[in-house]
Chains A and B, each alone.
Chain A
């Protein structure tokens, strides 16, 4: 596999990803190099972000605290965790019940328990997500690029036939969809580096197939025919106009992607059933995971167990053929998935069920294929949750969820407020330490960060560092430098690296 990657890079340079070059020529932002941008040896070729959109409570997942079972009439501040903790493969690291399989691969990973979200005031999830993904808080005077776009722009595709930035599992016609779009973009870097969106992983194959109803034969004929018309078209007057060239090259690129052997990676039906079932237990062939948003049915998460699993499987397949940056989301929809404003306990149980198998299997599969060393997996969320505290203990913000004096109904048993003073980030591979725990949080409420605080700039700097990119790298827009970490101030966290 290693030779593959090296070869792909050479191919990339040889075929010179025409669109990338034409984008450069068209006055797209250029990198600003200063003395401070040093050559960094990359420890990873690919990044996979597993996005727990909606606010994953650390005390219910990777940072369990004292467990208090439900009892009618209990005080709302009497519980820190609503699940017992379990052992992992690493003695001093405990997880919350429901993450057993992930616990078994913890010896391959690094766990940050002290990720601290920004102080953006009254909570809007998409705003924190924007900050997580771009390193900047909106609004911004220029369109800030997603970290996937920065990596795509800086490093290019690993395999020229695979889009450099692939985004799996998030729709944009849901609540806050416009805000999600505002950061799921290459921004000022230009759409060449934007996301290749696959909202439904079970339908990924369709994104690289001929359009609906068209046979591959007809698709090929259509392209041949187009080439004939193109050759016959008398638009010679404009000569070698760059507009024309860039148009034609873009079609060549698209066609290369659609006809490349790598396109098979998108087709999950080519995966053996037993292998799919390791990601999605009990999966039956042909099962669809496109349930509509069902906010009040409360059955949505149960129906969707499996969609994230297929997303992770797709990520593995794409990593195998040379993807550069992949994000797989559990999908952010207001009040669904990790966004638990009520019924936190039961819903988080479903969410853990949704992620435990695929997360652990992804690690094992990449390891078995010799790819884990060069693939950095980052599981993260925009912030955490708590039963009582909205914001940070010393910076409380406007509450969004009513907490009753006594918890009579199980629906009030769980973490329903937005907590920004500690959250968990799980890292595997790509040069990170194995079996390492970073940062300490308080055992009692507020379960806040006590040491080794990690902020987004530093987390990004570390991800960039693993990819061989300086946190001080900047791209020029409107004559000023726009740094890949805010104002170039991101600091690599050396303890994370093995």
Chain B
């Protein structure tokens, strides 16, 4: 068929990607039908099967919209146009698709749409998936078409305006005598609406343990904890937060894990064998050590110098790479997920069924990273077309398709880190909220197109973050100095439920690295040697007080406790305890060696101390408190009189297995 003949407005959308010869012939007929009113396309028998059109006036919003929404829009609305056909509006409906007009106004029996939903031709039935439309639904559609297909003003099935995209600055609620902190001023209103009274804040010990683990990933050393508890200063909690944030080494080592998981950076892993992967450890370490402002952090990843290019180069295994996993597509997926909180994975292969992203969206972004025009491949089949180069949110700005790649990357970096991108900031705020409170303001954290449970709070924090120079440490300080963060921990939810109500931070589990480092503090035994060569800001190399878990490749203990292999982007680790973990902790060689060495060191350092004193010292190290009388009694019993090495090992082990040790509460 020569499509050009039909290439007139309001008629056939052309060119068609996958023209079905049978259908195109039909469209000729249909076109003829629309020109020749007397032409009937259906056989008399088929006409006889048609449900009679609804006789009474059809109400679009009440009768038709629900049918379209439930059965048509998934493929013909919200940015999707299967078969070149969109039902975004009355106009696009009347335009028809690759196969011709969908409806003939006033003549439902001659409308292709009715033929399709009747399923006369088993090879082209609409909807393609699920059950056929009911008799009543077809009758309603017929009535609607016969009555001129009225469409209520304001109804659109076009692509939705994305939410959480542009900056929005809600007004900060008034302070009260109780709440001065901005987070709490929003929470005050929230709690009032939920009829929740502010619970009493946690005590100093619990607060310190929580904040140490959250900021630097370590347990508070007993003497620091004592000092903090004894401190009478009014502002001491905020001061502690600031002091921990200023501990560059430990802050950096703790947050390396978070970013390594997301940016897929590690010392060992798939792809390295062939040069199909490049580490960014030095860049990342320096960025965290210097608290690089987040807009620059992101820009340097998106438009990298060589030391950070590993992120967008992705992971390439030797051999042929599937089109949906080319380095360019990996970059598109990862940038979208990590920085913008959206999932392009499905759209890398076909228009997504789970969200509104299309193949063209994915290729538009991937193409920015490609030296050559990137042909779109639909489910492993080349389409022969390329997508216009653009960011997934064109609202944020354009990419010059004629610019060289280097320039395009610069444009992309600018666009994503521009002040008008309120998604970048919200996404990070939400990730940090999730880390500290156990559940995001938006959950899951990689679905940033959902509304937050406290929209104003999220929006305000995101603006505050940008206002203050994208300073991540200041953002952390903002969150951790709130009363909301200091509330008693609540039981973790088993599911991410939509009817979630915030009552306080959830109980969380230590990460593998936190656990291993905590064992380091308990036993005094750390790793021997860092895997990377880190050059610090002042030029020193590998200057570490101790070698923490983040500085070595995953060993069996860390793997068992959930350190991922970083073949995929991990934004949240699974926290459920598993049998294999428990086995590793119960009889694994790694932990067993640590405890043996630790017990030896411990006894050597405290030669002659009573079992009672030793037990108290271990309780302080592990749990930040003295043992209770029954605990002291039991501990002395296992240590033996005088304390035996085996007893120390076993007490260390038992303490480390307690939920009070392994959980963050």
B589 to chain A: which residues have CB within 8 Å? Answer: 211-212
B659 and A179 within 8 A (CB): no
With contact pairs A192-B580, A218-B646 given, residues A127 and B575 touching in the complex (Cβ less than 8 Å): no
Contacts of B446 in A (CB 8 A): 478
Q: Which of A178, A213, A242, A253 has the most CB of B within 10 A?
A: A178
In the complex the two chains form, is B582's CB within 8 Å of A253's CB? yes
Of all chain B residues, which has the CB nearest A231? B630
**Taking the nearest CB of chain A, how far is it from the CB of B446, in angstroms?**
8
Contact B628 A234 (CB under 8 A): yes
Tell me if B587 and A258 are in contact (CB < 8 A): yes
A185 to B657 alpha-carbon distance, docked (Å): 25
Do A190 and B320 form a contact, CB below 8 Å, given A222-B653, A251-B582, A257-B579? no
- CB atoms of B665 and A238 under 8 A apart: yes
Which of chain B's residues has its CB closest to A18's CB?
Answer: B579
B70 within 8 A of A: no
Is A241 interfacial (CB-CB < 8 Å)? Answer: yes
A155 in contact (CB, < 8 A): no
Q: Which residues of B contact A232 (CB under 8 A)?
A: 628, 630-631, 634
Asked whether B348 lies within 8 Å of A141 as measured between CB atoms, the reply is: yes
Which residues from chain A contact B508 at a C-beta distance below 8 Å? 243
Determine if A346 is an interface residue (Cβ-Cβ < 8 Å): no
B576 interface hit (Cβ, 8 Å): yes
In the complex, A247→B665 CA distance in Å? 14
CA distance A448 to B580 in the complex (A): 43
Contacts A26-B574, A212-B589, A243-B663 hold; do A182 and B581 have CB atoms under 8 A apart? no
**Measured between C-beta atoms, what is the minimum distance from B10 to chain A in Å?**
37
Which listed residue, B319, B577, B596, touches A249 by the CB 8 Å rule?
Answer: B577
Q: Does A479 contact B (CB under 8 A)?
A: yes
The reply on A36 being an interface residue by CB < 8 A is: no
Verify B576–A141 contact, CB threshold 8 A: no
Q: Are A211 and B588 in contact (CB under 8 A)?
A: yes
| Contact status A235-B665, CB under 8 Å | yes
Is A235 in contact with B660, judged by CB distance below 8 angstroms? yes
CA distance A484 to B660 in the complex (A): 39
Q: Are A182 and B270 in contact (CB under 8 A)?
A: yes
Contact A139 B631 (CB under 8 A): no
B353 on the interface (CB 8 Å rule)?
Answer: yes
Q: Are B354 and A479 in contact (CB under 8 A)?
A: yes
Q: Is B317 an interface residue (CB 8 A)?
A: yes
Looking at A57-65, A118-126, A312-320, the stretch in contact with chain B turns out to be A118-126
Are the C-beta atoms of B577 and A246 separated by less than 8 Å? yes
Q: Chain A contacts of B343 at CB under 8 A?
A: 478-479
Q: Which residues of B contact A178 (CB under 8 A)?
A: 268-270, 272-273, 565
Which chain A residues (172-199) contact chain B, with CB distance < 8 Å? 175-176, 178-179, 181-182, 185, 190-192, 194, 196
In the bound complex, what is the Cα–Cα distance between A123 and B317 (angstroms)?
Answer: 10
Q: A28-B576, A143-B567, A254-B579 are contacts. A233–B494 as well, Cβ < 8 Å?
A: no
Q: Which residues of A contact B287 (CB under 8 A)?
A: none
Q: How many A-B contacts at CB < 8 Å in the complex? A: 232
In the complex the two chains form, is A163's CB within 8 Å of B579's CB?
Answer: yes
A365, chain B: closest CB distance, angstroms: 28
**A179 close to B491 (CB less than 8 A):** no
A23 to B354, alpha carbons, bound, how many Å? Answer: 24
Contacts A139-B325, A179-B273, A225-B634 given: A191-B663 contact, CB under 8 Å?
no
Measured between beta carbons, the chain A residues less than 8 angstroms from B324 are 141
Contact status B579-A250, CB under 8 Å: yes
B390 contacts chain A at the CB level, 8 A cutoff = no
Interface residue? A229 (CB, 8 A): yes
Give Cα A135 to B255, complex, Å.
35
Instruction: Report the separation of the CA atoms of residues A218 and B587 in the bound assembly, to the nearest whole angstrom.
Output: 13
| B654-A241 in contact (CB<8A) | no
Asked if A13 is an interface residue, CB under 8 A from chain B, the answer is no
Within 8 A of A (CB), among B94-138: none
Q: Is the CB of B582 within 8 A of A254?
A: yes
CB distance from B363 to the nearest CB of A (A): 15
A238 to B659: give the CA distance in the assembly, Å: 10
Q: Which residue of A lies closest to B593 (CB)?
A: A212
Of B488, B493, B658, most A-chain CB atoms within 10 Å: B658
Total count of chain A residues near the partner, CB < 8 A = 76
A294: Cβ under 8 A from any B Cβ:
no
Kindly report which residue of chain A lies nearest to residue B653, judged by CB atoms. A222
Chain A residues 223-240 with CB under 8 Å of chain B are 225-226, 228-230, 232-235, 237-240
Does B408 touch A at the CB level, under 8 Å? no
A176: chain B residues at CB < 8 Å are 273
B568 in the interface (beta carbon within 8 A): yes
**Residue B592 at the chain A interface, CB threshold 8 Å:** yes
Contact A139 B576 (CB under 8 A): no
B663 contacts A247, C-beta separation under 8 Å: yes
Task: Say if the beta carbon of A25 comes within 8 Å of chain B.
Answer: yes
Contact at B583–A257, with CB atoms within 8 Å?
yes
A118→B337 CA distance, assembly (Å): 30
Q: Which of A137, A142, A182, A240 contacts B322 (CB 8 A)?
A: A137
B472 on the A face (CB < 8 A): no
Given contacts A179-B270, A243-B509, A258-B587, contact A142 B568 (CB under 8 A): yes
Contact partners of A137 in chain B: CB under 8 A:
322
B residues near A43, Cβ cutoff 8 Å: none
Bound CA–CA A191/B318 (angstroms): 27
| Separation of A230 and B653 alpha carbons in the complex (Å) | 12
Question: Contacts A143-B567, A242-B494 known; A211 to B657 CB distance under 8 Å?
Answer: no
Nearest B residue to A246 via CB reads B577
Known interface pairs A163-B579, A257-B579; A122-B567 also in contact (CB < 8 Å): no
Q: A238-B507, A246-B577 are in contact. Are A226 and B491 (CB under 8 A)?
A: no
A residues 412-438 near B (Cβ < 8 Å) are none
Please, which residues of chain B bring their CB within 8 A of the CB of A249? 577
A3 contacts the other chain (CB 8 A): no
Q: Which residue of the partner chain B has the closest CB to A227?
A: B654
CB contacts under 8 Å to A, within B470-496, are 488-489, 491-496
Q: How far is the CA of A242 from the CA of B330 in the complex (A)?
A: 35
Q: Does the CB pair A242–B568 fall under 8 Å?
A: no
- Cβ-based interface call for B252 (8 A): no
Q: Is B239 an interface residue, CB under 8 A from the partner?
A: no
Q: Does A248 contact B (CB under 8 A)?
A: yes
CB <8 Å contact, A138 and B270? yes
A194 to B578, CA, bound (A): 10
Identity of the chain A residue whose Cβ is nearest the Cβ of B665 in the assembled complex: A238
- Measured between beta carbons, the chain A residues less than 8 angstroms from B592 are 211-212, 214
Inter-chain CA distance A141–B596, complex, in Å, is: 41
**B586 CB–A CB distance under 8 Å:** yes
Residue contact B654 to A121, C-beta cutoff 8 Å:
no
**Given A190-B574, A250-B582, are A229 and B562 neighbors across the interface (CB < 8 Å)?**
no
A286 CB to nearest B CB, Å = 21
What are the residues of chain B within 8 A of A194 when measuring CB–CB? 578, 580
Q: Is A480 interfacial (CB 8 A cutoff)?
A: yes
B638 neighbours in A (Cβ, 8 Å): 221-222, 225
Q: A191-B562, A225-B634 are in contact. Are A27 and B494 (CB under 8 A)?
A: yes
Question: Residue A210 at the B interface, CB < 8 A?
Answer: yes
Q: Closest Cβ of chain A: how far from B119's Cβ, in Å?
A: 18
- Is there an interface contact between B567 and A120, defined as CB atoms closer than 8 Å? no
Contact A208 B587 (CB under 8 A): yes
**CA of A163 to CA of B346, assembled, Å:** 34
17 contacts across the A-B interface (CB closer than 8 A): A19-B576, A19-B578, A127-B317, A140-B325, A140-B568, A179-B270, A211-B592, A222-B650, A225-B638, A232-B628, A235-B660, A240-B491, A243-B491, A243-B577, A244-B659, A244-B663, A248-B659
Interface residues of A, Cβ cutoff 8 Å to B: 19, 22-23, 25-28, 119-124, 127, 137-143, 163, 175-176, 178-179, 181-182, 185, 190-192, 194, 196, 207-214, 218, 221-222, 225-226, 228-230, 232-235, 237-244, 246-251, 253-255, 257-258, 478-480
Inter-chain pairs besides A196-B583, A251-B582, 11 sampled, C-beta below 8 Å: A26-B494, A120-B320, A138-B567, A139-B316, A141-B345, A178-B268, A182-B567, A207-B587, A214-B592, A238-B663, A238-B665
**Pairs A-B, 8 closest by C-beta atoms:** A121-B320, A121-B319, A211-B592, A254-B582, A250-B582, A250-B577, A124-B318, A26-B576
